[in-house]
Amino acid sequence: MIEPVVLHLPYEISEKQLLMKLCLRENSPYINRILELALKAKEIAKPKGLIKASFIESKANDCVIIDSIEFRSRILRINLEEVHRVFPFVVTCGHELDLWSKEITDIFESYAADVIKEMILYSASANLKSYIDQKFSLSSASNMNPGSLPDWPINEQRSLFQLLGSVQELIGVELTDSFLLIPVKSISGIRFAKEGTYENCQLCPREKCPGRKTPYDPDLYEQKYK
């Protein structure tokens, strides 16, 4: 077992993408104010990540024991078939940015701040994954996140936090009794080496999801995970 490492993550916000996400046209009177908000967010934001290298101790039908902690998910178990080491992580936009956004009272500006936080989170998250891949020489890797699929329910966040240790003390992310992460713009998961691509979305039939990364494959569960 290797101790958790705190990462202060770089990030980018594309002004063009921000304006597109907010559906603002070139002549919109809101543009200057939204770009001011993005600038302010950049001054304040300190996104962070916590990662660890952990070892798989045993595997059964629908569960995996990692560093003596049990995780119950058939899909996770099968995705980890070929590996003995995994990389649990939590990444967050940071409480500094979260506090800033909570002081914004205008409804549209508050929505824009939410979009900015999400963009910073996703950019920081991409950098965290690149860090893991480089540091541990993963040529191809995938993630699973508790709560993304019924097979790996959200209450497994507790085990993930147990695996990582003092998440709140180290990066300020709190796990509530209902298994939500605070700041809300935070992501938890396990990264692992995997040939080919795996995305939770391949097994998720939810329609019109704005976060969908890849199409739903209705046959995949039967073919690979049953």
190: nearest Cα among 150, 134, 151, 152: 152
Whole-Å CA distances, 147 to 105, 151, 173: 31, 8, 17
User: Rounded to an integer, what distance in angstroms lies between the CA atom of residue 85 and that of residue 63?
Assistant: 15
Binding mask 195-214 for ligand SF4 (x = CB under 6 A): -----xx--x-x--x-xx--
140: nearest Cα among 128, 148, 132: 132
Nearer to ligand SF4 among residue 4 and residue 189 (C-beta) = 189
Task: Specify whether the CB–CB gap between 54 and 66 falls below 8 A.
Answer: yes
**CB neighbours of 186 closer than 8 A, spacing ≥ 6?**
90, 91, 92, 93, 121, 173
Q: Does 45 bind ligand SF4 (CB under 6 A)?
A: no
Q: How near is the Cβ of 6 to ligand SF4 at its closest, in Å?
A: 27
Nearer to ligand SF4 among residue 1 and residue 209 (C-beta) = 209
Nearer to ligand SF4 among residue 113 and residue 149 (C-beta) = 149
Binding mask 82-121 for ligand SF4 (x = CB under 6 A): ----------------------------------------
Task: Specify whether the CB–CB gap between 141 and 51 falls below 8 A.
Answer: no
Q: How near is the Cβ of 83 to ligand SF4 at its closest, in Å?
A: 22
18's tokens:
């921000």
Site size for ligand SF4 (CB under 6 A): 8
Which positions from 145 through 164 interact with ligand SF4, judged by CB under 6 A? Answer: 148
Which residues make up the interface to ligand SF4 (CB under 6 A)? 148, 200-201, 204, 206, 209, 211-212
